[in-house]
Structure 1
Amino acid sequence: MSESAARAETPGYMESFQNYVRTRKGTILLVEIVLCIIVLICYAASRDPGYLALAICEMIFAIIIFIIFMRQLNKDLSFIHWPWTDFLRAAIGSLLFLITSLIVVIRGRDGAGIAAGVFGILTGILFAYDAYTTIPALRSKHTQAATEPSDGV
């Protein structure tokens, strides 16, 4: 197979982006990225910019996972268990967003901080939904241990 034929078989970045965004996981990841950007902007405008790191880190993690799944690099990098990686990313992100957002909303120093807290709660709920939707992928890859003794022992 020539190089030009191989290039014609692999979809371009825009085509793979459009195809992946049409999936449920792609839509969830894209909305997570957009909500992280909104939370980032709100925290930057508030009096409590100390929570910017959470929005930045979770946005970067979501972008990395989005690109890996969009380009199907998870099939090439099989030494990483991708369902567990995605589950832990989403579960930890959900917990951190809910905790920090509740702290900011309860303090309520300024409007931008409250907006960041509200959007952070929504983002935490979306991250929790993302973690919940990855559970079937974890169960399908799980193999049960042998419970009966073998004859050779």
Structure 2
Amino acid sequence: MADITETTPAANCMTSLESYVRTRKGAVLAAEILISFVILICYGASRYGGYLAVAICEMVFAIIFFVVFMNELDKEFQGVNWIWSDLIRAGIGAALYLITSLICVIGGAGDGARIAGGVFGLLAGILFAYDAYTIFLDIKSSRQHTAAPTVLPSIV
């Protein structure tokens, strides 16, 4: 007879997903993925589809970092500095979303989907900037707590 308490890999994945989304970083990454998907839909419905690239790239990068941090792969693959990579991703995402969103809101007369995508893009730019700021604070606090080794000269 099979053991009922045995867990499947899918159940382990769902429990780790649920527990990671409840953290601050997991919630921010999940919100970045969702708002990028909404922007993707808005720009896809627009007459000007050229702004899709920012939403697609930022959503894919957010998914990659979400999976890496959720499965704690950042501790296994230490060849990449994941914290600095995440800071660069969030900073560039904030800048790109703010720039393209302002262009879409200002020049989107007559195209409601483009204006909606621009407004959601402004919100995404603020969210990505918040993520970059919190990552920066984490880096700054981890550097302050690490003391440099000091060697006193010995007098012989």
Give the TM-score normalised by the residue count of structure 1: 0.85
Structural mapping, 1:27-106, within 5 Å: 27-106=27-106
1:26 aligns to 2:34 (yes or no): no
Post-superposition shift, 1:66?
A: 0.1
Post-superposition shift, 1:137?
A: 2.1
Post-superposition shift, 1:34?
A: 0.3
1:80-102 CA-partner distances (Å, limit 9, x unpaired): 11111111100000000000000
* Structure 2: unaligned runs, 5 residues or longer: 1-5
Instruction: From the superposition, tell whether residues 37 and 150 of structure 1 become closer, same or farther in structure 2 (CA, over 3 Å).
Output: same
Q: What is residue 120 of structure 1 aligned with on the other side? A: 121
State the distance in 1 between where 2:81 and 2:141 align.
Answer: 12
* Structure 1: unaligned runs, 5 residues or longer: 1-6
State the distance in 2 between where 1:16 and 1:71 align.
Answer: 8
Post-superposition shift, 1:141?
A: 4.0
State the distance in 2 between where 1:85 and 1:48 align.
Answer: 31
Higher alpha-carbon Rg: 2
1:105-131 CA-partner distances (Å, limit 9, x unpaired): 000230000000000000000000000
Number of residue pairs matched? 144
Give the TM-score normalised by the residue count of structure 2: 0.84
State the distance in 1 between where 2:92 and 2:33 align.
Answer: 15
Post-superposition shift, 1:140?
A: 3.7
1:134 aligns to 2:138 (yes or no): no
Instruction: From the superposition, tell whether residues 47 and 150 of structure 1 become closer, same or farther in structure 2 (CA, over 3 Å).
Output: farther
Post-superposition shift, 1:47?
A: 1.4
State the distance in 2 between where 1:112 and 1:121 align.
Answer: 14
Post-superposition shift, 1:145?
A: 7.0
State the distance in 2 between where 1:16 and 1:51 align.
Answer: 34
State the distance in 2 between where 1:145 and 1:99 align.
Answer: 40
